[in-house]
């Protein structure tokens, strides 16, 4: 079982034994370790209950509909009791604490000239994303 889904690794060892109190961030869930199981509600519920605070999903591997499906699994888990409200509240508190320590910078849209300069420095390569499998991961 990947560490991302293991309560023993994330909670018992990382939080309890080692005393880590920060935010636990998953690796990209769309990669092959568990991608074939992302449509199964149990997968999302297991990740949340293991102790992950932020679930990362790269757009290269999955589309928005899969991510929304996972959010629905979390919501359903909260409603049916397979995810405890306290679990989500604790994650929220850890994330809020992390964000309170981060400088807050005003977000401004860059000018077209700035974008053009950036593009000249590091040209974007046209990319066609690979087709997603039922689990959201790209096929090799």
87-119 pLDDT, tens digit each: 999 999 999 999 998 888 888 898 999 988 988
Structure token digits, residue 125: 């390569």
- What does the alpha-carbon distance between residue 68 and residue 73 come to, in Å, rounded to a whole number? 9
What is the rounded CA–CA span in Å between residue 15 and residue 8?
A: 10
Contact in structure between 76 and 35 (CB atoms under 8 Å): no
Exactly one of 12, 27, 28, 63 is catalytic; name it: 27
According to the model, what pLDDT value does residue 35 have? 85
Has residue 135 got a pLDDT over 60?
no
Q: Where does the chain show beta strands of DSSP type E?
A: 25-28, 54-56
pLDDT band for position 60 (cuts 50, 70, 90):
low
pLDDT at residue 55 greater than cutoff 50: yes
What CA dihedral angle connects 14, 19, 21 and 26, to 10 degrees?
-10
For residue 28, indicate whether it is catalytic.
no
What's the confidence (pLDDT) of residue 130? 54
8 Å CB contact between 83 and 74:
yes
Neighbours of 50 (CB within 10 A): 23
| DSSP run (H or E) holding 71 | helix 64-80
Q: 18 falls in which pLDDT band (50, 70, 90)?
A: very high
Helix (H) or strand (E) holding 8: none
Enter the tokens of residue 10.
């994330």
Lowest mean pLDDT among 17-21, 30-34, 113-117: 30-34
**Strand, helix or coil at 44?**
helix
């Amino acid at each position: 079982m990947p560490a991302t889904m293991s309560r023993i690794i994330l909670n018992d060892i990382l939080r309890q034994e080692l005393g880590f109190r920060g935010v636990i961030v998953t690796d990209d869930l769309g990669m092959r370790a568990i991608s074939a199981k992302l449509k199964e509600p149990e997968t999302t519920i297991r990740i949340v209950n293991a102790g992950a605070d932020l679930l990362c999903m790269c757009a290269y591997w999955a589309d928005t509909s899969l991510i929304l499906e996972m959010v629905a699994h979390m919501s359903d888990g909260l409603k049916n009791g397979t995810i405890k409200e306290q679990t989500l509240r604790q994650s929220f508190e850890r994330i809020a604490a992390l964000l309170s320590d981060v400088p807050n910078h005003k977000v401004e849209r860059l000018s077209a000239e700035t974008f053009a300069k950036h593009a000249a420095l590091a040209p974007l390569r046209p990319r066609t994303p690979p087709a997603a499998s039922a689990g959201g991961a790209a096929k090799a």
